[in-house]
Amino acid sequence: MVVRACALLVAVALAALPTGCGSADRARGGALRVGYQKWGTYSLLKASGALEAKAREFGLSVEWVEFPAGPPLLEALNAGGLDIGHAGDSPPLFAQAAGVPFVYVAASSPSPESSAIVVRDGSPVRAPADLKGKRIGFVKGASAHTLVVRVLEKNGLAVGDITPVYLAPADARAALEGGGIDAWSIWDPYLAAAEVSGGVRRVADGRGYVTGREFYFASKAFAEQRPDVLRAFLTELTRVKDWAKDRPAEVNRLLADQTGIAIGAIEKAESRRNRYDTGPITEALIAEQQTIADRYVELGLLPNTIDVRAAVSRLPFGGKE
């Protein structure tokens, strides 16, 4: 059942993709295809319309494709359905191990409070050590997976001490509310929506366990063929973030309209988000990702050792134009 749920997540995402043109055709024109998730900074860029205006300068239109999590987004990139995307720390590692041709191009500032492991209010689980023997729901290969691993290991538990239940965010919330799982590892805005609705409480959040960064990446072919467009994309992303830093009320309204998520949940999620800076993939970030990857290999979660540095773009990070 778990395998079918994961396969369905990917199948639904792929079915939503536009057929579009091949990579060579897109180098001459066509559509810039951007994969995004609810509430991320890509959603803010989508709402602004700034990317569409910039893309026209290159003879391109923009196609936005929404995904519920990072793993299916990277599956779509592997299938040739996307040019640019974003995700947390884990999805790129699983993608690289699977041979997905992508490159990291930038990363956000950290936001560890934006993810947490939650339980129902009446749960006997009060501390991370109480998760032993419990069923924890999360998206396999997502940043929520990293949080589970880190929380367990830093509290004297092993991954084998819990029962993982691989579920998409909406399914996991329903399973938690219905008693199908004992705990749920999740990120904003799904986390904030559950907290605003009531009935859940945090056992641990990302502080002290994960950075909660967004990583920005592109298909390898697109990065090689259209570095000019990729630089322009990063410039527009940086600009919209700079604009957003001092306009929380406007950002909240934009994101609520863009995502269809209640304004109260957006306000809660935004109050603890600190991803409004974008920078290059530094040596420190490569080391952080490599540490996670190596541990995943030791746990048998990744099938083979990877070299994170090999997937980092050589495109200089340019900031603003």
Q: Where are the domains of the chain?
A: 2-111+213-311, 112-205
Instruction: Please state, in angstroms and as integers, the Cα–Cα distance from residue 59 to each residue in 25, 34, 148, 219, 234, following that order.
Output: 12, 16, 44, 19, 18
Instruction: Please state, in angstroms and as integers, the Cα–Cα distance from residue 131 to each residue in 182, 305, 313, following that order.
Output: 8, 29, 39
Domain 2-111+213-311 top-level CATH class: alpha beta
20-37 pLDDT per residue, tens: 444 444 444 599 999 999
Residue 115's nearest CA partner among 308, 274, 277, 307 is 274
Q: What is the pLDDT along the chain (321 residues), one digit of tens a residue?
A: 333 333 333 333 333 344 344 444 444 459 999 999 988 889 999 999 999 999 999 999 999 999 999 999 999 999 999 999 999 999 999 999 999 999 999 999 999 999 999 999 999 999 999 999 999 999 999 999 999 999 999 999 999 999 999 999 999 999 999 999 999 999 999 999 999 999 999 999 999 999 999 999 999 999 999 999 999 999 999 999 999 998 999 999 999 998 889 999 999 999 998 889 999 999 999 999 999 999 999 999 999 999 999 999 988 765 444
What is the share, in percent, of the chain residues with pLDDT greater than 70?
A: 89
- The helix, strand and coil proportions of the chain, stated in percent and rounded to the nearest 5, come to 50, 20, 30
State the DSSP H helix or E strand holding residue 165, giving kind and residue range, or none if neither. Answer: strand 163-166
CB atoms within 10 A of CB 286: 16
Domain 112-205 top-level CATH class: alpha beta
32-76 pLDDT per residue, tens: 999 999 888 899 999 999 999 999 999 999 999 999 999 999 999
Entry pTM: 0.86
Helix axis angle, 90-97 to 70-78, nearest 10°: 30
Establish whether domains 2-111+213-311 and 112-205 are of one fold: yes
